[in-house]
Structure 1
Amino acid sequence: MYSVDRQQVVRNLVTKTESKIVLLVMDGIGDLPKDGKTPLQAAYKPNMDALARESDLGQSVPVLPGITPGSGPGHLSLFGYDSLKYNIGRGILEALGVGVKVEKRDVVARGNFATIKDGILVDRRAGRPASEESKKIVDLLSEKIKRIDDVDITFYPGKEHRFVVKFTGDNLFDEVADADPQKEGLPMEWAKALNPDSEKMADIVNKLIKQIEEVLKDQPKMNFALLRGFSKHPQLPSFEENYKLKAAAIATYPMYKGLAKLVGMDVLEAGQTTEEEVETLKKVWNEYDFFYFHVKKTDSYGEDGNFEAKVKVIEETDKAVKEILSLNPDVLIITGDHSTPALLKSHSWHPVPILLYSKYVRKGLSISYDEYECARGTLGTISALDIIPLALANAGKLDKYGA
């Protein structure tokens, strides 16, 4: 991965211009074939395929070859931050995304409501309840659990099965392994301290989970909770400092709003559908020069193993691509933060397809936007850290290096 000095080279070359960049992230877009086709190949997506013929295509490695990234590292790499240097827990991303104020004495964690039976994890997402239903359970926990030992506990609702827990107290550290076995059909994996300083935190986490189990024991599905991504508030250089870009984030899920807030983007209220996200983009088009546009359901359906639903989301996003192109962006990038093959029902290590459109590309080699055309594309296989510098260059925002 890149050293700090190499990243500094890019920062030193950035120049401010009027050109506009759109980074369209279809979360978990990369996939594996079913009956000979991936969801990208199976989808009817005339706008993306036509654009592919006018674009550079390639594939990116979010972290390192063979490493399966979480959404946090995947997105940080897309934003140009080395995720091996900035190891950010999911807790802070989810917390910032739902508007939680995180201060020095706080550690936050992302929670999943789950279903457990006879000590075995049956469903990590408790059937993906509606946000309104899970909020009722968060309210119940808030009423029943307020403090463990000398640590204050605060719950915040999220989307569907997700919620946030904030731990407030002295001598709390975030180097704690996830309290989550990660797969169904396994017994609970309890929190473990990763160093002696974090033993208090791990003990509080496990006491909390047991109290949650007692409070929720009569619930049919949301009868347990998994906690992961323990984190304090990190310090990162802002996106605008790095790239002289006034950036807007258009996303519907808290974690991705949190990622954008963490790097200093303006997070806009964008409704819940791709169509509403497009309308938000149109309204603010003249106010920003970089737009992060996030589509979540490609990842959700990949995790559910729902190949056909993933195809449908791609087709819906293709309509949004037509609307985005009508705004005449100088650069449009279509990619993902990681691959989530429906066959695996999880994130994977497979490279992520990239489409880069501008008037300066070496077009003409590709005929469609999919994993295999991208593997043959003119960009080749690159680190995800290269995507922002390439976008800047194609937007005329990078000066020459050296004499």
Structure 2
Amino acid sequence: MAHGGMEQKRLLLILDGAADRPCLELGNRTPLEAAQTPNTDRLARNGVVGRARTVPEEFTAASDVANLSLLGHNPIGVYTGRGPLEAAAMGVDLEPDDIAFRVNTVTLAEEKLKDYSAGHITTEESRRIIEDLQPVVKELGGALYPGVQYRHLMVRRDGAEWRSFPPHDNIGRSVEEMLPPSGPLREIFERSRDLLREHPVNEKRRAEGKNTVDALWPWGQGKAVRLRSIREEYGVRGALVSAVDLVRGIGVLAGYEILRVEGITGYYNTNYAGKGEAMIEAFASGVTVGVVHVEPPDEAGHEGKADEKVRALERIDEFILGPILEAFPDIKVLIAPDHPTYLETRCHGSEPVPFLFYDSRVPCQGPEKYAESTASGEVVEGWSLLPRLMEGVSK
């Protein structure tokens, strides 16, 4: 049932890693082209499909930079690293001299990175491992905090200048290529590896034929950052839902209300419908701008699973976008991936992404489908899209 009232809602729907290149498995189509997404395509036919650069040339393709862009912040002025964004999501306050690292639990094979997520280990299993490793990291000069699944946090007073490598973009590379022969990063890796060889969680996972947690992998370090809040900028309430600490952290720093939804995992089994329902409730409570971030298309890209990437896009359309549009037909919508995640390479890319902009009060003639091939016009900066979505809001 549609909700009454004069306020027009604003929705930013982030399809993490959805942009891609045509692949043979999908009949030389991209996942966006192959997916059956009637709600999205209805907006495309009455909206604008353009191209945006979410990763400035100065940066490598990464979710932190790209999501900062989509949430209206120019990374050039505010970005220090991924770690401090995740610290904000976890409620870890950083002192001015603190350096926050993202830490993955990784699987190794023949001295190479095999899996950035240790088989998408459960949060419960991962927490046991992190708690057992906290004394080791403390002894080596850091504090280790458990997060969700394979995503954790370490805080130190050094390391800002150390070179680190995101594991999801370096599968198959040797440890020796990426870690220094000595120093804290190497010590954390080796000490964690020694402790984990016969850890009870790994013994159980090994018996079940699952990937094990073979080491801790710190990366993405940086100092605390401050972002201008959505209320300061536009004078409205904003709400955000995501299973990913990085995106929630940006939301915390930018003053969004963080919606808690049971069963959201950041993986294929996430609670899509729960995200849609939570945003509908937030809009009904007086929230003006809602951000829904959905991670599974990115995970499918990293795993090279075209069918899962298509299925994720279809579920987002059916269980998140469709119900929101039905509940709030008077709405502005911005849909965009944060970056491409290519099925072929299983890595992020920095090419411009297709965005869809729709305004129920100002319909226009758009393409039949939302996809890379239907995007047109000059490439705009990613951080310019949110201000466009917020046009017409009066403080």
Establish whether TM, by shorter chain, passes 0.5.
yes
Relative to structure 1, is the Cα distance of residues 66 and 370 closer, same or farther in structure 2, using a 3 angstrom cutoff? farther
Question: Aligned with 1:114: secondary structure?
Answer: strand
Matched, 1:94 2:94: no
Relative to structure 1, is the Cα distance of residues 294 and 33 closer, same or farther in structure 2, using a 3 angstrom cutoff? same
Relative to structure 1, is the Cα distance of residues 19 and 360 closer, same or farther in structure 2, using a 3 angstrom cutoff? closer
Tell me the distance in 2 between the aligned counterparts of 1:281 and 1:50: 20
Equivalent of 1:147, from 134, 139, 145?
139
Structure 2 match to 1:12: none
* Amino acid of the structure 2 residue aligned with 1:174: A
Tell me the distance in 1 between the aligned counterparts of 2:286 and 2:393: 18
Structure 2 match to 1:36: 28
Conservation of the 8 A alpha-carbon contact between 2:78 and 2:226: no
TM-score, normalised by the number of residues in structure 1: 0.83
Tell me the distance in 1 between the aligned counterparts of 2:57 and 2:116: 27
Q: Which residues of 2 match residues 192-231 of structure 1 at below 5 A?
A: 203-218=183-198, 219=202, 221-231=212-222
Equivalent of 1:174, from 124, 142, 160?
160
Flag structure 1 segments of 5+ consecutive residues without an equivalent. 1-16, 193-201
| CA-CA distance at 1:305 after TM superposition | 0.8
Q: Which residues of 2 match residues 3-402 of structure 1 at below 5 A?
A: 18-34=7-23, 35-64=27-56, 68-148=60-140, 151=141, 153-167=142-156, 169=157, 172=158, 174-178=160-164, 182-188=169-175, 189=177, 203-218=183-198, 219=202, 221-271=212-262, 272=264, 273-285=271-283, 286-319=285-318, 320-326=320-326, 327-359=328-360, 361=362, 363-374=364-375, 376=376, 380-393=378-391, 396-397=392-393
Question: Aligned with 2:78: secondary structure?
Answer: coil
| CA-CA distance at 1:287 after TM superposition | 2.2
* Amino acid of the structure 2 residue aligned with 1:303: H
| CA-CA distance at 1:45 after TM superposition | 1.1
Alignment RMSD, CA only? 2.4
| CA-CA distance at 1:67 after TM superposition | 6.1
TM-score, normalised by the number of residues in structure 2: 0.84
* Amino acid of the structure 2 residue aligned with 1:237: R
* Amino acid of the structure 2 residue aligned with 1:244: G
Conservation of the 8 A alpha-carbon contact between 1:63 and 1:84: no
Question: Aligned with 2:143: secondary structure?
Answer: strand
Structure 2 match to 1:13: none
Relative to structure 1, is the Cα distance of residues 145 and 330 closer, same or farther in structure 2, using a 3 angstrom cutoff? closer
Question: Aligned with 2:77: secondary structure?
Answer: coil
Relative to structure 1, is the Cα distance of residues 66 and 177 closer, same or farther in structure 2, using a 3 angstrom cutoff? closer
Relative to structure 1, is the Cα distance of residues 231 and 67 closer, same or farther in structure 2, using a 3 angstrom cutoff? closer
Moved more, 80-89 or 234-243: 234-243
Flag structure 2 segments of 5+ consecutive residues without an equivalent. 1-5, 207-211, 265-270
| CA-CA distance at 1:174 after TM superposition | 2.2
Conservation of the 8 A alpha-carbon contact between 1:302 and 1:340: yes
Moved more, 217-226 or 262-271: 217-226
Aligned positions, number: 363
Relative to structure 1, is the Cα distance of residues 160 and 40 closer, same or farther in structure 2, using a 3 angstrom cutoff? same
| CA-CA distance at 1:145 after TM superposition | 4.3
Conservation of the 8 A alpha-carbon contact between 1:173 and 1:232: no
Deviations 1:251-278 (A, max 9, x none): 1222211111122222121231121111
Tell me the distance in 2 between the aligned counterparts of 1:145 and 1:362: 56
* Amino acid of the structure 2 residue aligned with 1:280: A
